[in-house]
Amino acid sequence: LSHGFCMSELSGPYTTCLAPGDRKNRSKPTRGRKKVFEAYMSREDVSAGLKRKTLIQGPLRINPKKYHEAFIPSPDSTRDIFIDGVVARNRALNGDIVVVTLLPKDQWKVIKPDGCDNETTETAQGSDPPGSSPGACVLRDPGKGDVNSPDVVIEAQFDDEDVEGNISARHGFDLGLAPLLCLELNVSLSCAPVGISLWLLQVVYILEKKHSRAATGFIRLLTDRNSELFKKCAMFSPVDHRVPRAYVALADCPPDFITRPEDYSNTLFICRIVDWREDSNFALGQLAQSLGQAGEIEPETEGILTEYGVDFSDFQPDVLECLPQSLPWVIPPEEFAKRRDLRQECIFTIDPSTARDLDDALSCKPLPDGNFEVGVHIADVSYFVKEDTALDEIASKRATSVYLVQKVIPMLPKLLCEQLCSLNPMTDRLTFSVIWKLTPQGKILDEWFGRTVICSCAKLSYDHAQSMIENPEKAFVAEEIPAISPRHSVDEVRQAVLNLHQIAKQLREQRFMDGALRLDQLKLSFTLDKESGMPQGCYIYQYRDSNKLVEEFMLLANMAVAHQMHRSFPSKALLRRHPPPQSKMLKDLMDFCSQMGLEIDCSSAKALHESLNKTFGADKYAEARKEVLTNMFSRPMQMAVYFCAGTLEDETLFRHYALNVPLYTHFTSPIRRYPDIMVHRLLSASLGDGPAPRMEEGDIQQQAEVQELSADLFFAVFVKECGPLESEAMVMGVLNEAFDVLVLRFGVQKRIYCNALPLVGFQFQKLGKKPQLTLMWEPESLEQDAVQQVITVFTLVEVVLRSDNVPLKYSAVLKRPGGEE
């Protein structure tokens, strides 16, 4: 059973499996049943505990690869607090905002395996409990029992003087956290156990159920045909093991499921969790719908969207009634009196070639004094999306457009995002502009904000702009670039792009001199068959000078608007801050790099950026090492968050760590991001156009995860259709029985398990803090000896990506050194 729950649950005295409409018994434990989970505290006790700091709150993050491991950030955000096991999570799901407390002292559990004190340790297959590693502190839920099957391993090296240990960067959990938690939870230090120990924490309340409570998975008949439940319920098993399995009513299942269950073995269903009782390891669910066959793109995509709570339904009539009803729509004459008319200016868009929602445009006009008038012009979405309307409500709920590989789930109806708001070429459009007078070096001499009317003269792609940058003297002919408005020439557009590029280079150089940090992750792109929509090819997206050009001016506009809002409304400004990285994880990572001979300075964002760009070497694998290190140093980084300025008293907390600027916001993407609409309203109020609007903080992180999952889905299909695929790979991390690699050809990360390889054995050891695996390959013939292969971080290996028999699963198979896999 994937969740480790006992089978006796299936035949126990579980009185009902909720059918549609039967909800009266929900959350009432059956009499006489032993509780699995603790009852939640009352809201009043939680409020009091948070005020007294005897409780901690935070977003729950569950490890997708080891579902028993969960974390919440510590109150000072310097590290993660570890929550051990399903029971300790107390029915909370990934993303929920939870409240935790310390368990009673008699439930603190630590097991220190033999050999923890050794500086260098080693293992071979089968010599240690599954999942454990020598020198690791093996931790368990209270009462779990069997010491030979630990639930969680925190990898750490100990000696008699190092009681905190050196925790691997992938966990960020600190065994020295106990004294810290004593202070944070107002617990006396005198109660701390002697020696090395773990303070086990438990969820006692769910403040906000952020998880959608929906999951995709499969249905199965219960195994005990003699139980009462067999006649009423089936078992739903989610694909995501972080979600509990659930009883679902047979009445919700297909009519022939009982007689022909094998027909549905590969059918994906959506189930919504409706309850999870204190006395049951299993939740109660309700089947929502059948999606189709597992492994097919559209059913899998719909499942991803549903699980992450993305609203992909059609817009309702009351929403559509908020749109202009008289089409074709034209700008009302009175708007021209309120706006600066820029329709004669050379203004153009630069976007991906497939983009339809064009929400930003650029202009660059040389001035007689040798300076430039540069403008960033953003679609005036707030003109159409009025506050407190049905359209505003649905946009705020959707929060963002979701960009999948094959399509976009828009935040706004298509009439707005692809037509009336989109800055389409040779069409009059309403905009909000920031216009500067800049020196050729990018120094701001003057600045203006205001509502405008523009008429874009061209829709350039990044490829078009890049071609102009790479060929500055070339005279482009009409066939090489998109149609240009008759008011302007190809050469005028080309020169504007070149001038913007030169200024952007100066801005970028100055940003990094001032201390900015950039940690780029590889992004996979696909070419799709026009008829079937299936992936035909894939490639790593190249971030080029044309992308950097647009990025620099969008950053400049966002920073300018942040300052303008904060000057006018110091307590209402909707800003975006980026907290510093978790200090404990960062220190561990620095120590690890030092052991690898890499001196990384993490004292500031600037120091880290400079260190990473000096460290990679000059050979052909320098970029690969850079990607591995970038991935490592991305892990301690925290997420940027929106906030209202009045909610934080200390203005030093307003800073954006990666950009290294005091104030930042999002202004430039209102077609696809709701916070930008709120910023537009506040900016308008700061210019004297109406009162300040109501401000609310927001979070759109889940939608970013959906976009990553869409790419994962398409790549798994690509491996199945076009594989096996061979590539060089670089080792990113070494565990005691496995190692992670970055597949260089495709930019994907995979884990390779030693027990899946034809090995005679393997040996794990830590040389200081440097982990190393030695693989002993089986001889290819009786005359040969076993071949040894040493695996450590930055080792180059050859891998083959092969599709598994399970839908959407593929494996990286390590090739034998100098031979086949």
Please report, in range form, the residues annotated as the binding site for Mg(2+).
Answer: 351, 360
Helix orientation angle between 622-634 and 605-612, rounded to the nearest 10 degrees: 150
The Cα–Cα gap between 318 and 392 comes to 11
CA 182 to chain centre: 32
Question: At which residue do the structure tokens 């054995």 appear?
Answer: 761
Closest CA to 440 of 495, 493, 504: 504
Q: Where are the beta strands (DSSP E) in 346-475?
A: 347-351, 360-366, 372-379, 402-403, 408-409, 428-438, 444-455, 458-461
Q: For the chain, how far is it from start to end, CA to CA, in angstroms?
A: 31
- Could you check whether the bond before residue 535 is cis, i.e. omega within 30 degrees of 0? no
The Cα–Cα gap between 550 and 360 comes to 9
Task: Tell me which DSSP letter residue 136 carries.
Answer: E
Other CB atoms within 10 A of residue 678 CB: 26
The Cα–Cα gap between 234 and 251 comes to 10
Q: Which two tokens stand for residue 696?
A: 């609310």
The Cα–Cα gap between 552 and 561 comes to 14
- Contact at 8 Å (CB) between 268 and 217? yes
Which residue type does 166 have?
N
- The residues near 699 (Cβ < 8 Å, ≥ 6 apart) are 399, 641, 642
* Residues of the binding site: 351, 360
Closest CA to 93 of 112, 70, 115: 70
- Contact at 8 Å (CB) between 485 and 363? no
Question: At which residue do the structure tokens 């924490």 appear?
Answer: 201
Other CB atoms within 10 A of residue 38 CB: 16
Q: Where are the beta strands (DSSP E) in 401-468?
A: 402-403, 408-409, 428-438, 444-455, 458-461
The Cα–Cα gap between 324 and 321 comes to 8
- The residues near 330 (Cβ < 8 Å, ≥ 6 apart) are 428
